[in-house]
Each structure stands twice: as structure tokens, then as C-alpha cells.
Amino acid sequence: MKNVYSNIYTFNKKILKKTIKYLYEGNIVGLPTETVYGIAANAYSQKAVMKIFKIKGRPVKNPLIIHYHNIDNLKDDVIINENFIKLYKKFCPGPITFVLKKNKKSKICSKATANLNTVAIRFPSHKVVRSILKHIDFPVAMPSANISSSLSPISSYDVFEEFKNKLKLIVNGGKSKIGIESTVIDLSGKPKILRPGIIGANEMKNIIKLNLSKEISKLKSPGMLKKHYSPGIPIIMNKKSLNPKFAQIVIGKKYGIRKNYFNLSKKGDLKEAASNLYMTMRKIKKLGYKKIYITKIPNFGPGVAINDRLKRASK
Ligand code: TXA
Ligand code: MG
């Protein structure tokens, strides 16, 4: 029988070589990271980067994150500063993205950064993507591997569901452990969190000075304004439904087992809940539920990132 997932490959030396070859040829490939899966292309090639926007249906004014192996590979692409060095030393490689000023000499193509004078950069920790980045002499532009505005994928099968055979290759690197996208912090001026993630303000505020005003920061991340992270069915937040026909997402041990109940973490652990969020919403949709209700999720630590995604998904 022919395998339907014919473009999903287990990572090994042969696939490493193949992935590198495809990237050098200007193709896009699906790759695992510790946060969510991404689709990657050579960030120095305008032609390759345009393929990403096209396949995702992504508005061209929404810039991409540029991924590097380590700080020595930045070359002259961005202007680094002290805040960046401090956070890099503490959290990288890992689930955090830094917005920095673009260097005039930068080789990153203008489309990747939506013609802005800033660049978002990240150093993912997943060993598959790290070994690929180590073997190429350009960084990769890599958004989450989903059609624009829908749920981010956390497995190679999710990526297949989004793009089917339109990608030449999807590397299987297991389930993304973190399960939601990286924290985005703007360091091009006074530090501001643009997108909350697993690394929160509390972890960072002892290392750098942080402005926690949400209102200002919202406007600066171009992709964060509209509806996003949507499973394609209505989401109602902070509410319990009495109707068993609707899916009910809960968190904590006080909820018993019911067919329409989906517990993000029985222990009430917010990090675990975040890692199960997208997977659970995909499952609910596949089961054919027409609506999702979600009980209140505490708004601290990883709960801030969960509520941020849910709020955008419910728009
Ligand atoms: O965890 C992640 O960050 C994943 C994995 C694949 O690395 N990537 C990801 O990319 O979430 P994407 O494209 O889905 O989200 C990137 C976010 C968008 O909200 C975009 O607007 C913002 O980063 N961004 C990119 N460049 C920016 C810039 N120069 N200034 C402000 N925001 C920027
Ligand atoms: Mg995305």
C-alpha cells in the first residue's frame, strides 16, 4: 500500500543531505522545532522567500523570523546590543525571538522582513533544525507551518494536513515539546514583549529592564493584529457549556471524565497545558465539534501565552 504521508521523512544522514540540497536550490521544506513546526527557505533569496508567502497565503506585510545556528552566524545581518547578548546567553538556543535593527549590509532579502528596518531572529534548540543550520551558509526564514491564520502544527502529520504534497519534504522530528510559538521580544528600542510565550516577562525582568505595557507593543508586531491561531470553529472563552454537543476545554483535576471534556493538564500545570493546546484544538475539530468552550485559564506564567492565543483564535 502506498504511504499517504509520502513526503514525511525520518531524520538521518541521507535526509540531512537532501534537505540541505533542497534549501540550496531555493525550495521550501517542513522542519521541526521545539516550539512548533515551520516551513523554511533561504532567507537570503527573495525568490525562495516568496514561495513561503505564497504557499501560506500570508500577507506580504507580515515579516518572517530568521533562524540561525548561533550568534557567530549573524554576520552583518543585524545590529546587536547588550540586552540581546544578555538574553542570548541565558536562553539560547531556545524558544525566544529577538527583534533587532537591520544592518545596512544585511543580506536578508527585503521581502522576508516586509521592508522593515528591523529583523526578528531566533536560534531554535531542536536538534534536527540545529544540525541543518550548522551545515548551510545562510539563515532560514521560517514561519509556523500552517495556512495563514490557522492553528500552528506540532507534528509532521499536522504539517502534512496543512500543505499535503505541496512541500517536497517534511522532516519528522517528533512532537514539538513546547507546543506554542516562541516569545517575541522587541530589543530595537526599549525592550517590549510583542508575543508572549513560554519564556515570560518574569524570567526576563531580572536580566533586562522590561516595559510591560501591552497597548504599545500590540501595534508593533505586524502579524499580531488580526484573527490568528484559529481552528476554524467558534471559540468561547471563560465559559462552561452545559450542552454536551459542544467541546469543553478544561484544566485541572477537579474536572471529571466526560466525552466532550478535553483536559489540557490534569495536574493544572500551565506549561503542560500550553504544550497540549494546539494538539487538542486540532483533535476537537477532527472529531467534528462545531464550537469550543474554554473554562478560565489563570493569567500568569505560560497562562499568559495560552490566553493570548485563545483570544486571537476567538476573534
Ligand atoms: O516559534 C516560532 O517562533 C515559530 C517557529 C517555526 O520558529 N515561528 C513562528 O513564525 O511563529 P510566524 O511567522 O508564525 O510568527 C512570527 C511573528 C509574527 O507575529 C510576525 O509579525 C513577528 O513574528 N515578526 C517578524 N518580524 C518582525 C519584526 N521585524 N518586527 C516585529 N514583529 C516581527
Ligand atoms: Mg504563525
Q: What does the alpha-carbon distance between residue 195 and residue 190 come to, in Å, rounded to a whole number? A: 15
pLDDT given for residue 266 in this prediction: 96
The helix (H) or strand (E) run that includes residue 46 is helix 46-56
pLDDT given for residue 102 in this prediction: 98
Share the mean pLDDT of the chain: 94
pLDDT(174) > 90: yes
Give 56-97 pLDDT, tens digit per residue: 999 999 999 999 999 999 989 999 999 999 999 999 999 999
Ligand 1 pocket member 194 (CB < 6 A): yes
Q: pLDDT above 90 covers what percent of the chain?
A: 88
pLDDT(215) > 50: no
Residue that has been written with the C-alpha cell 517528533 in this structure? 174
pLDDT given for residue 75 in this prediction: 85
Which residues surround the ion ligand 2 when the cut-off is CB under 5 Å? 144
Enter the pTM of the model.
0.96
Residue from 64, 130, 162 to probe ligand 1 pocket by mutation (most atoms less than 8 Å from CB): 64
Residues near 137 by Cβ (< 8 Å), separated by ≥ 6? Answer: none
Sign, Cα dihedral of 224, 181, 308, 152: positive
Section 122-146 average pLDDT: 98
Q: What does the alpha-carbon distance between residue 262 and residue 271 come to, in Å, rounded to a whole number? A: 16
pLDDT(211) > 90: no
How close is the Cα of 50 to the center of ligand 1, in Å? Answer: 16
Single-letter amino acid code for the residue at 300 = F
Give the residue among 309, 26, 16, 314 at the shortest CA–CA distance from 144: 309
Residue 89's CB: how many other CB atoms inside 10 A?
10
Section 240-258 average pLDDT: 93
Section 104-111 average pLDDT: 98
Mapped onto helix, strand or coil, the DSSP state of residue 279 is: helix
Q: What does the alpha-carbon distance between residue 174 and residue 164 come to, in Å, rounded to a whole number? A: 18
Would you place residue 212 in the very low, low, confident or very high pLDDT band (cuts 50, 70, 90)? confident
How close is the Cα of 220 to the center of ligand 2, in Å? Answer: 16
pLDDT(136) > 60: yes
Section 280-299 average pLDDT: 96
pLDDT given for residue 268 in this prediction: 96
Q: Which residues pair with 185 in a beta bridge?
A: 98, 193
Ligand 1 pocket member 36 (CB < 6 A): yes
Of the candidate ranges 42-56, 219-233, 235-249, 277-291, the one whose mean pLDDT is the lowest:
219-233
Residue 129's CB: how many other CB atoms inside 10 A?
27
